[in-house]
Amino acid sequence: MKSDAITKGMQAAPQRSLLNALGFTKEEMKRPLIGIVSSYNEIVPGHMNIDKIVEAVKMGVAMAGGVPREFPAIAVCDGIAMGHSGMRYSLVTRDLIADSTECMALAHQFDGLVMIPNCDKNVPGLLMAAARVNIPTIFVSGGPMLAGKVHGHKRSLSSMFEAVGANAAGKMTDDEVAYFEEHVCPTCGSCSGMYTANSMNCLTEVLGMGLRGNGTIPAVYSERIRLAKKAGMQIMELVEKNIRPRDIMTKDAILNALTIDMALGCSTNSMLHLPAIAHEIGFDFDIKFANPISEKTPNLCHLAPAGHTYMEDLNEAGGVYAVMKEISELGLLNLDCMTVTGKTVGENIKNAVNLNPEVIRPLDNPYSKTGGLAVLSGNIAPDGSVVKRSAVVPEMMVHEGPARVFESEEDAIAAIKGGKIVPGDVVVIRYEGPKGGPGMREMLNPTSAIAGMGLGSSVALITDGRFSGASRGASIGHVSPEAAVGGPIGLIQEGDIISIDIPNYSLNLKVSDEELEERRKNFVPKKTEVSGYLARYASMVTSANRGAILEINK
């Protein structure tokens, strides 16, 4: 065992003395040492129940003969950070989480890890750490929030942001917004639609790193406590059999995740996180892999914000395994991939059943024959851009309109709420990419303002920043290369005609190559002045199409 380095032999006597200070017994020093990576905090709704999950995991570890020891991982609530300078600190935490977990796991020679994440960057950060550390590891998330109820209809956080836009358009009173405010987020848990946190918790199941139900069992259900106990017990089997993350998170497993991503209609942020996880196992993930997979993979789910079903509905319909079982019938999954159950994907999903064909459409009645995400390329985005096409209305799948150019999210929001954006416009928000932001802020406020003001079926938005999983409409993000490194999005001028063709994966500026070259001669990218961690991050971060991973400049 790895922990022998701190528990066995004369050379470990000083370490044993410190373990004695922790109250360890001699019997405990003979057992596997299991790190419990807790994301609990008191500011993120998705994490306020994680202390209960931790206690259940510890009980499971102890029942199976291990010694659990807890240490923390940070987490930012994207909803609370949204729309102000704090959003610069969301994506950047993914690497802090991975780095700090690596440090704790290896410094203390744990034999195994149980990761307990829940929200947006917390899940991929810990998946990255698991791949990097590569000791037996299992995940159990805090679980999704139940949907809110407003006037008899299910609602979620995206409804709240859109209510603010409706209020600005005079379509909703202050009192009506206040009523929404008190009812859309009724419980603890990750926000109740197929937003980024729930997308990544579901994909954790697909990757094989979490037990069945990891992504869908609601946070407030006692079933989640039972799941946590099972995860605590299961880590001991993984330690005994030495089944490690890189045995599970293989290239085939990541392509399985991308395939189910298309079927579920996951957040566009998965196209930042899957490449970053792949990087940790040495797999050079090109986001353009998405298009050929999307062409073969039907979209079976329309959870909020794309539709009117929620995570609790997906759970009752059979969960992620039921979706995988449907897609496996097309031969699109590698069923031989190993998982934390100690069994293969095929063995895990063998008896899964779709219990609600309205929530999980069967193969003969998909929402669309193509997947939920698309990567668009062209002279605006030579290295690609990402759109959640399952959340785009049919009339916006192909669109041409004049560019309305803004140098920041705040400027764009002011124009949208000020009534300066009209049907047909293409809002361009630049200098919000990984380097330019820095931190690649999410654009839920402008997309929600567009939807709330009734422009969702007539206005598009493109940015080198990114979108919340709660965004919907013709919202095209991750434009690469970004403006801050000289990307063509920085050359767009007010009134230029932009052509969007999602079915044909294209995003183009209808300006001649000669004119663009002339503009480039005088183009000096704007620089954002930052200090501290953001400055270090900006100096090391790569483009969105590479997952915004960090690399040392040589």
With a cut of 70, say whether residue 337 has pLDDT above it: yes
Q: Are strands 374-376 and 137-139 parallel, antiparallel or unpaired?
A: unpaired
Calpha distance 484→218 (Å, rounded): 41
Q: What is the pTM of this model?
A: 0.96
Residue-wise DSSP of 240-300: HHT--HHHHS-HHHHHHHHHHHHHHT--TTHHHHHHHHHHHTT----GGGHHHHHHH--B-
Closest to 488 measured CA to CA, from 535, 433, 450, 439? 433
What pLDDT is stored for residue 158 in this prediction? 87
- Give me 114's structure tokens: 């149980």
Per cent of the chain over pLDDT 90 is: 91
Residue 169 — pLDDT band, cuts 50, 70, 90? confident
Cα angle 130, 374, 303 (rounded to 5 degrees) comes to 75
- Give me 136's structure tokens: 């037996």
pLDDT digits (tens, 9 = 90+) for 435-483: 999 999 998 889 888 988 899 999 999 999 998 877 888 999 999 999 9
Residue 554 — pLDDT band, cuts 50, 70, 90? low
With a cut of 90, say whether residue 381 has pLDDT above it: yes
Q: Are 151 and 242 in contact (CB under 8 A)?
A: no
Calpha distance 415→64 (Å, rounded): 59
What pLDDT is stored for residue 443 in this prediction? 87
Residue 290 — pLDDT band, cuts 50, 70, 90? very high
Residue 194: strand, helix, or coil: coil
Indicate the helix (H) or strand (E) that contains 518.
helix 513-521
Spatial neighbors of 215 by CB under 8 A, at least 6 apart, are 141, 144, 198, 201, 202, 203, 204, 205, 311, 319, 320
429: Cα within 13 Å, side-chain hemisphere: 31
Calpha distance 436→550 (Å, rounded): 15
Per cent of the chain over pLDDT 70 is: 100
Spatial neighbors of 103 by CB under 8 A, at least 6 apart, are none
Spatial neighbors of 367 by CB under 8 A, at least 6 apart, are 265, 298, 299, 300, 301, 302, 307, 361, 390
- One-letter amino acid at 39 equals S
Calpha distance 461→235 (Å, rounded): 45
Spatial neighbors of 351 by CB under 8 A, at least 6 apart, are none
Instruction: State the helix-helix crossing angle for 157-168 and 409-417, rounded to 10 degrees.
Output: 60
- Active-site residues, by number, are 468
Q: Are 443 and 468 in contact (CB under 8 A)?
A: yes
Closest to 29 measured CA to CA, from 19, 44, 39, 41? 19
- One-letter amino acid at 256 equals N
Which residues face 384 on adjacent strands? 480
What pLDDT is stored for residue 392 in this prediction? 93
pLDDT digits (tens, 9 = 90+) for 50-107: 999 999 999 999 999 999 999 999 999 999 999 888 999 999 999 999 999 999 999 9
Residue with the bigger pLDDT between 158 and 248: it is 248
